[in-house]
Structure 1
């Protein structure tokens, strides 16, 4: 069975982009949310990034799931998998297969902002898993958690946020998000988080500043999106890609630095924005975690950390938490 709830329209996304660009380019310092990297070209670039030798997180997380998906399924003992983001890749398949083998899985709820991507990927899951109720939800999971399908009586759910997605949130919003997740889950439900771990700064920076320049192109793509969607005249080549390790906050910062004094016009907003030579604009943070720190964050949100699995090199972790 396949069905899809559409809580975000193209008009909603356009309004959100307008608001984020107007606010972010008027801020001091300037910033843009990372979710606007992902048009068709941005998504393709990110797929290239995941295969780069410098970019270990995707491989490390998959390695954990290849070893531990059965343990996740057994511990969560869930009948429904809710996945915030993704919904089509090998990591999702590993979880679905393990939960199916465990004998309890009967429903899959993938959530993503891209309706077209979600519809096609969720249909493939439905085709590959006859008898599984695939209930896709188009929405921004930072805003639409309350619109997730209601659990059936006695249904145990596993909610998964993989790929260290929560690392893109600063501590305050991340704490609010975890509380919101706790609010939609009930007794017996579980939360599965994929998180990148603190490690040598040189390796971290290399993962976000690869030798081939793919990540640089991905970072600049946010300017292409604004050009296309809002009629702006950004010259992406006039901005340098930067990746820095913030040791105090233990996160990677991706920035775009203006090479010259320049003025950018965003016709769709009736806005002109000046950049000084050397001025930097924040486009993404990617927080890295330690076990004790994440356990404390989960505890504050109403979860107990029950399992912590890492890849053989200790680069990445899967954290399974139960609702308290």
Structure 2
């Protein structure tokens, strides 16, 4: 049966990336696809269908932030990182976003991401105790939306329609995505935050991250792209949150890392070796394990360093509050280490 042009790859085109083992029994299997690109853009590792479109979800945020910066938004430091981030809504996160809104002369009410409770427990308790309730600042995409609004005020664009696909800002976003992915967008949808989301191939996504990661060391690269990569590594807490997987990977290994909803992950080393993953069932719990292993198998990161990071970010399988199993690599990935 041919693939629906408005669908991602099929089960038949996927491979087993990871399994969940409980008490010596394989309880669940995560299938999907993944690609590793060398610094010069050549395919080093191909698992499953790496050419079919996937909604890249929040892995597109660095490109969306880049578009906002190209539109004249003077993002600096943690502002850049949080515009690229899917943060947990800590008090520090909300402070950075609030500062961006103030600089743009707009208010929280103008953010068109939903109001939400923060994933950060301290911030959630504060919102409850102060009776402020859910906040748009706490939504994990608020940094991106603040950058979008700021782009509108810098250019005199309408702030009410900034999420519409035909808005000048969103047209610029699509142009940046296609430029860095090196391919046309296959489909355009609506992300969880209400912004347009593009479907691109895993190969295209990895290509984009390779370019971003290499930018600081390449004098011919776009200076704003270099700022994106540098800021994500300098302020990894703003990209996700202290103790969170992406933050730990960036802090400990010095490679840019960004999750996306529905099982998407992209990472790249400063040399430009990049990996992009889509877990077909949409679960992200094995993505960091698979992504770092693929980079290690390609010789892009050291195995001992990867093992140290994985000990921090991979939760054990529990039974009665004690470890009784683990998430481990599927054969398609583990075979690459032999």
TM-score by length of 1: 0.29
Q: Say which structure is richer in strand.
A: 1
What TM-score does the superposition give when structure 2 sets the normalisation length? 0.29
